[in-house]
Amino acid sequence: MDIAIMIEAQNGLTWPLWQNLAAAVEDLGFAGLYRSDHFTNAAPPDKESLELWVSLTWLASHTKRIEFGPLVSPVSFRHPALTARMAAAVDDLSGGRLTLGLGAGWQEREHSLFGFDLLDLKARFNRFEEGLEVITRLLKSDRPVTFEGKYYQLREATLLPRPVRPGGPTILIGGNGEKRTMSLVAKFAGEWNAVFLPLAELVRLNAHLDEILLSNGRAPKSVKRSMMTGLRFARTRKELDAQLSARDQTAEELRKRGIVVGVGEEVKEQLAELEKVGVRRIMLQWLELEDLDGLTSLAKAVL
């Protein structure tokens, strides 16, 4: 199983922090570096947050090995034709290391502050499906694309230059929704990213996705399974107990929510359990953007 790092960029990501994190993730041997796509937090205070595609363009040309991408980029922020163009270009620049994580959008505050229309839940997913249709057609079709939707329209549009990787970067759809999310994964995605799922629920939804894929004429193995989840890690038991106590949490409570908790060997054991049930990539949420020493300790413990 690939072990990657995921950061919440809206929690103060600046150029120095991004550059240092990228270098550390690459040098320490992690499989990838993924980031959220938010303008700001769901509640104050507002903090720095580098623009997604600008930061990924830098990453593509300043790393050589790690995979990367958004977890996830809402179609509510950018026209899907623009997203397809940027994703193809960044993937080419990186030599084919981008995973294109896409979502419908959810955070009301940032949409209100910056003037984006979030829409009600049903309309939001209808727009998301149209966005996925536009992006996949532009990436995969060498011929002009015409599409007449409620939210997006294309008229003899061709994405040029064509992606170097046939069909462009792999599309990832994240979320735990049994109906709409899973059906969109089966129709459009090459990777499903579960979010904060306890083991039993992950097994259940994994089997559910297999059934939907088969009913759509796709082999279950055609969709990679990954998970993004929280992490409570420390070098020693004493440090971990202090972390949990400061947040009034227990390891047992957090593990029931799908969060990875422990010191070295305990973390490895939890990751091994996820691998056994089919998770091929884990994105561990690293919230302390400046803590490169902690990241080094994590690498030594689990890689």
Q: By residue range, what is the domain housing residue 42?
A: 2-78+86-99+164-302
Residue 91 CB burial class (10 angstroms; 0-12, 13-18, ≥19): buried
For residue 146, being part of any structural domain is answered with no
For residue 138, being part of any structural domain is answered with no
For residue 148, being part of any structural domain is answered with no
pLDDT in tens, 26-65: 999 999 999 999 999 999 999 999 999 999 999 999 999 9
For residue 296, being part of any structural domain is answered with yes
Statement: residue 279 has pLDDT above 90: yes
What's the pLDDT band for 264 if we cut at 50, 70, 90?
A: confident
For residue 154, being part of any structural domain is answered with no
Q: In sequence order, what are the residues at sequence separation of 6 or more whose Cβ sits closer than 8 angstroms to the Cβ of residue 228?
A: 6, 34, 71, 174, 193, 194, 195, 196, 282, 283, 285
For residue 119, being part of any structural domain is answered with no
pLDDT at 127: 98
In this structure, what token pair is assigned to residue 89?
A: 């270009």
Q: Where are the alpha helices (DSSP H) in the chain?
A: 15-28, 52-62, 80-94, 108-114, 121-140, 180-188, 199-215, 237-246, 251-256, 264-276, 292-302
pLDDT in tens, 80-127: 999 999 999 999 999 999 999 999 999 999 999 999 999 999 999 999
Q: Which residue bears the tokens 């990436």?
A: 139
The CATH number of whichever domain residue 43 belongs to comes to 3.20.20.30
For residue 156, being part of any structural domain is answered with no
Q: How many domains in the chain?
A: 1
C-beta of residue 30 within 8 angstroms of C-beta of residue 303: yes
Q: What is the pTM of this model?
A: 0.96
For residue 34, being part of any structural domain is answered with yes
